[in-house]
Structure 1
């Protein structure tokens, strides 16, 4: 039996066919294993590469997303590449032809003069505009009487911007046509009435003083002899360059050296204000869209002074004007009346016996109604301010202590 087992083992070992078969199986198995490990290595490497690329892409996308979130975009421009977005504009008129823009020869004015005008004050307005050099000022006229063509004979009329809307105030015009983004390129904005004498006024000298004194909101002083002066702080002080406060020791509303609030200090009247670019951006937001007389706004302008209103708001004595106090809005010839003019007070029209003046010109004088409406709007503005202060829990009044100190 042992011999037979030995014979079988020897025959298996010595069988060449079996040995060859085993060798082939071993080689095939080795090749399969090698292919598996090699392909696995390649797959792993590719997976790692892909994962790495996705991580880089995600990182870049997240980084880009964070950058885009930080970047300030004007509302509505999100669908546009940032480089094509033009955020501001100006009131410069552009040529229909020529290569002026290509050569960069177009000179831009650095300031804006905007006046609410009626044709009856044409000559006064002409004298005002002629004082302002065209190289430094864009002129914009707000025609509240609807008359535009009769201004065309003036030498500067074609370069002025004319806007017409019947029986609207300069604040109505300013709110709609002097948006901060439209006038962002102008360093100073003069928003003036039409009844101002400028014989003793030089705009360039005025702005030189304003810049030197760092006034963000200002006005030229009024000649106290020739002017209709409503508030003593606007009256010109002799031998003075600029003043920022007034003194009143008798009667109600006293002002002394301790006063820190308007109208004793940090205050200008609204017939001839001059705003810096930054101050106007703030003031424009404060103008109420429906309160066109803007009474009460003057008391709050100091909040737009870009700092301390006791320093940055002032009246320039060296360059002064005359406030003629002419009747403008509300005084109309009978043939000028229309539905818009009659309803200016948003109440019942006055009877003929109350409005018609006993004169040959048959004028209608609505000035009492205009003044009444102005007072109503002032009360509305004050109420809105009080409500806004109460509702805005995040707002801190920088002048709260100053108001308390100015109470006598």
Structure 2
């Protein structure tokens, strides 16, 4: 019976046509599935390959960016827009003279801690330094700024005012290495220096020729207040790096390898190279504003051997007048200073200003006592830092103990 039914179905022309149609449709569906599967597999493989390449590039870029040193805080910016340093150059409010071309050679910086009482001396110092070679910055420790405006160079100088602060306090806060990075040499001077026998350009020529990273002009011994023999000028000499002292305490001979016999300058007129200042700035403590003891360690910033890269220039020398400044003031002088300025502006006749008696107050003993205290604190910090830093190797193996010297009267 079953074979009869199958035979009758197969022998029926309509049934055969239907079966053929179903077979053809099934074949087309299977073919389309196989073809689409092949395309999808190929596309998936291609896409997977592309992602692998992208991931590899991203990982490579990530590793490269990790290696690249970037200033902290600049990670969110494209590197080309990041400006890492600055300078003290004043810029015009408008200008149509911008030129594309080779930049001008780097200037140098003259920074002086000043008070109005030494205005004439400072004026003579600044006039010695050519405008095109030096940027001038004044640190006003007495708070008086306007009374400098009559000097022809005053408007191009940078004026910073903070009452009763030392040169090193100002330097730590306003001469960051990234701010002065464009200046080849930094002159960090006191105000009480006579410069009749000093030429800045010749001085720069000597220290560049001799490779001095830290230096100072020698002091005229006949007219200067000299605290250390190494700073005294030698006649018929271009410069010197060491002294010989065979009497008294602190003897120096040919075997001496440490300050103040060699590799040492005093703090009233130091001159730093750009690299030496970057190192020295880090050594200045925020709270030890007199910086006593710092001079004994400056040789670590000499960018090499302090016995070669630190020196005193005899051919270009100055006079150290040794004038008392910080701490030596009239009673209530600071409080009445700005009142007097306002009064002078309001009153047209000089005779209208009634003279007032002032009693001199000398706080120099307290200033000196504080300086000694800070020197001991600095030494202790250095000793502790040297012990705690297991990766640091002292190239000199010199102790800072047992070096008591008379210090400069001013900072």
Report matched runs for 1:365-376 at 5 Å.
Answer: 365-376=362-373
CA 1:5 to 1:93, structure 2 compared with 1: closer, same or farther past 3 Å? closer
For 1:326, the equivalent position in structure 2 comes to 323
Q: What is the CA–CA distance in structure 1 between the aligned matches of 2:310 and 2:64, rounded to whole Å?
A: 39
What is the aligned counterpart of 1:233 among 230, 233, 248? Answer: 230
Q: What is the CA–CA distance in structure 1 between the aligned matches of 2:150 and 2:5, rounded to whole Å?
A: 133
**Secondary structure at the residue paired with 2:85?**
coil
What is the aligned counterpart of 1:209 among 193, 196, 206? Answer: 206
How far did 1:212 drift? 0.6
- The yes-or-no answer on 1:54 pairing with 2:51 is yes
What is the aligned counterpart of 1:198 among 188, 195, 204? Answer: 195
Q: What is the CA–CA distance in structure 1 between the aligned matches of 2:73 and 2:250, rounded to whole Å?
A: 49
1:243–1:314 contact (8 Å) kept in structure 2? yes
For 2:272, the equivalent position in structure 1 comes to 275
Q: What is the CA–CA distance in structure 1 between the aligned matches of 2:6 and 2:84, rounded to whole Å?
A: 97
For 2:241, the equivalent position in structure 1 comes to 244
TM-score by length of 2: 0.87
Q: Deviations over 1:127-159 (max 9, x none)?
A: 111100001000111111111111111111111
Deviation beyond 4 Å, 4+ runs, structure 1: 4-15, 102-109
CA 1:5 to 1:283, structure 2 compared with 1: closer, same or farther past 3 Å? closer
Q: Deviations over 1:86-114 (max 9, x none)?
A: 11111111112222335679967610000
For 2:298, the equivalent position in structure 1 comes to 301
**Secondary structure at the residue paired with 2:72?**
coil
2:106–2:184 contact (8 Å) kept in structure 1? no
CA 1:105 to 1:31, structure 2 compared with 1: closer, same or farther past 3 Å? closer
- The yes-or-no answer on 1:89 pairing with 2:86 is yes
Q: What is the CA–CA distance in structure 2 between the aligned matches of 1:225 and 1:55, rounded to whole Å?
A: 80
- The yes-or-no answer on 1:286 pairing with 2:283 is yes
Q: Deviations over 1:146-180 (max 9, x none)?
A: 11111111111111111111111100110111111
For 2:182, the equivalent position in structure 1 comes to 185
Q: CA RMSD in A?
A: 2.5
**Secondary structure at the residue paired with 1:191?**
strand
Structure 1 unaligned spans of 5+: 340-359
Q: What is the CA–CA distance in structure 1 between the aligned matches of 2:3 and 2:69, rounded to whole Å?
A: 94
Q: What is the CA–CA distance in structure 1 between the aligned matches of 2:43 and 2:102, rounded to whole Å?
A: 60
Q: Deviations over 1:170-217 (max 9, x none)?
A: 001101111111111100000000011111111000001111111110
Q: Aligned residues, how many? A: 382
Q: What is the CA–CA distance in structure 2 between the aligned matches of 1:150 and 1:101, rounded to whole Å?
A: 34
How far did 1:25 drift? 3.4
Q: What is the CA–CA distance in structure 1 between the aligned matches of 2:324 and 2:206, rounded to whole Å?
A: 31
What is the aligned counterpart of 1:335 among 332, 335, 342? Answer: 332
How far did 1:7 drift? 8.7
- The yes-or-no answer on 1:64 pairing with 2:61 is yes
For 1:350, the equivalent position in structure 2 comes to none
Q: What is the CA–CA distance in structure 1 between the aligned matches of 2:156 and 2:26, rounded to whole Å?
A: 95
How far did 1:399 drift? 1.4
Q: What is the CA–CA distance in structure 2 between the aligned matches of 1:153 and 1:390, rounded to whole Å?
A: 53
2:87–2:179 contact (8 Å) kept in structure 1? yes
Q: What is the CA–CA distance in structure 2 between the aligned matches of 1:8 and 1:144, rounded to whole Å?
A: 122
- The yes-or-no answer on 1:127 pairing with 2:124 is yes
Q: What is the CA–CA distance in structure 1 between the aligned matches of 2:362 and 2:7, rounded to whole Å?
A: 139
Q: What is the CA–CA distance in structure 1 between the aligned matches of 2:145 and 2:98, rounded to whole Å?
A: 29
Q: What is the CA–CA distance in structure 2 between the aligned matches of 1:109 and 1:20, rounded to whole Å?
A: 97
How far did 1:248 drift? 1.3
How far did 1:362 drift? 2.2
For 1:112, the equivalent position in structure 2 comes to 109
Q: What is the CA–CA distance in structure 1 between the aligned matches of 2:366 and 2:4, rounded to whole Å?
A: 137
How far did 1:56 drift? 1.9
1:92–1:108 contact (8 Å) kept in structure 2? no
**Secondary structure at the residue paired with 1:142?**
strand
Structure 2 unaligned spans of 5+: 337-356, 404-411
